[in-house]
């Protein structure tokens, strides 16, 4: 892992003697597990009678919500056991052995919402001796990236003759959007604005005033992969305005495993194909009233 280790010293009471270290940043991918590394030293190394509690918090130093809380202790002369007190949504587990000074946390199946700062806290306690406690500050910043997903595609009716094709995409980094017209040519510039939102990690791509009838393709791309989705646009003729919408898609996800030496591969995941046909009334409501 490419990580810069940071030595963190805190002058809290009872903190002398325990050092806790985390890297400054860790990157992960949507759907993959991620390890937040954390290691420590304690003056009690060599004793078996002390307990090591590992706690991970998120967002805010010291006061942030606890995601994970587990105590490692001796188990009737046959090794040690981890007793887990808190494990929010069962998504976390120790990635190493606290007896080996490893307090790393593994997070199962990352999502974009996991992007945050995480704080590793280690408490070392031995009967009759003052406890040692230390929490990293700053914590480790986790950044999750993911390939684009097309959430929705639809035709917005501006008026009886003006339409906009809309493609709503989610992904991180923010995806680029390219429109391909029914003749398989990319659609040029100013008619295809892209804006951020409405939700987090979302972008909206628009194609104003499609001229041709047929399948238009929205292609969303970022560094993690790309996805395409088609929408069928029927040219509106004046006698009978018929709007038929066919939506189908194929998702290409480029998976980049984080372990060094592993190979990259492409996964082709056919998505469900929805077909919708709707007839626009011959006199669309209100459009021509003026």
Ligand X SMILES: *[C@@H]1O[C@H](CO)[C@@H](O)[C@H](O)[C@H]1NC(C)=O
Q: Which residues bind ligand X (CB under 6 A)?
A: 5, 19, 21, 39-41, 55, 66, 69, 85, 101, 158-162, 186, 188, 214-215, 230, 232, 246, 248
Question: Considering beta carbons, is residue 151 or 157 the nearer one to ligand X?
Answer: 157
Quickly list DSSP for 177-221: EEEE-TTS-BPPGGG--EEE-SSTTEEEEEEES--S-EEEEEEEE
**Cis ω on the peptide bond leading into residue 198 (within 30° of 0)?**
yes
3-state secondary structure of 47: strand
Question: Considering beta carbons, is residue 85 or 267 the nearer one to ligand X?
Answer: 85
CB of 59 to ligand X, least distance (A): 14
The CA distance from 126 to 53, in Å, is: 11
Question: Considering beta carbons, is residue 17 or 31 the nearer one to ligand X?
Answer: 17
Q: From its phi and psi, is residue 234 left (phi > 0), alpha (psi between -120 and 50) or beta?
A: beta
CB of 39 to ligand X, least distance (A): 4
CB of 160 to ligand X, least distance (A): 5
Which residue from 224, 269, 206 is spatially nearest to 112, judged by alpha carbons? 224
The CA distance from 202 to 230, in Å, is: 19
Question: Considering beta carbons, is residue 12 or 200 the nearer one to ligand X?
Answer: 12
CB of 76 to ligand X, least distance (A): 20
Question: Considering beta carbons, is residue 106 or 255 the nearer one to ligand X?
Answer: 106
The CA distance from 58 to 113, in Å, is: 12
Which residue from 249, 283, 286, 280 is spatially nearest to 156, judged by alpha carbons? 280
Question: Considering beta carbons, is residue 109 or 161 the nearer one to ligand X?
Answer: 161
CB of 40 to ligand X, least distance (A): 5
CB of 145 to ligand X, least distance (A): 25
């Amino acid at each position: 892992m490419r990580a810069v280790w940071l030595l963190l010293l805190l002058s809290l009471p009872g903190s002398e003697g325990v050092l806790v270290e985390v890297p400054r940043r860790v990157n992960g991918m949507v759907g993959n597990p991620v390890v937040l590394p954390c290691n420590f030293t304690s003056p009690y190394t060599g004793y078996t009678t002390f307990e090591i509690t590992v706690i991970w918090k998120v967002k805010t130093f010291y006061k942030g919500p606890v995601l994970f809380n587990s105590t490692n202790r001796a188990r009737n002369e046959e090794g040690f056991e981890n007793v887990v007190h808190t494990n929010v949504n069962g998504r976390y587990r120790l990635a190493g052995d606290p007896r080996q000074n490893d307090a790393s946390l593994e997070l199962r199946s990352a999502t974009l919402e996991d992007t945050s700062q995480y704080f590793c806290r280690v408490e070392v306690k031995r009967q009759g001796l003052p406890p040692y406690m230390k929490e990293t500050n700053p914590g480790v910043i986790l950044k999750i990236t993911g390939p684009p997903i097309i959430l929705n595609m639809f035709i917005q009716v501006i008026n009886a003759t003006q339409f906009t094709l809309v493609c709503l995409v989610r992904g991180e980094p923010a995806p680029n959007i390219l429109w391909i017209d029914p003749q398989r040519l990319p659609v040029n510039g100013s008619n295809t604005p892209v804006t951020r939102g409405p939700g987090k990690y979302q972008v909206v791509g628009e194609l104003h005033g499609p001229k041709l009838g047929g399948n238009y393709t929205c292609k969303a791309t970022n560094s993690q992969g790309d996805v395409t989705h088609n929408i069928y646009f029927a040219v509106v003729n004046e006698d009978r305005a018929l709007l038929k919408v066919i939506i189908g898609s194929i998702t290409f996800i480029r998976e980049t495993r984080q372990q060094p030496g592993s190979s990259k591969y492409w996964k082709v995941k056919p998505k469900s194909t929805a077909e919708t046909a709707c007839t626009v009334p011959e006199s669309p409501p209100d459009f021509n009233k003026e």
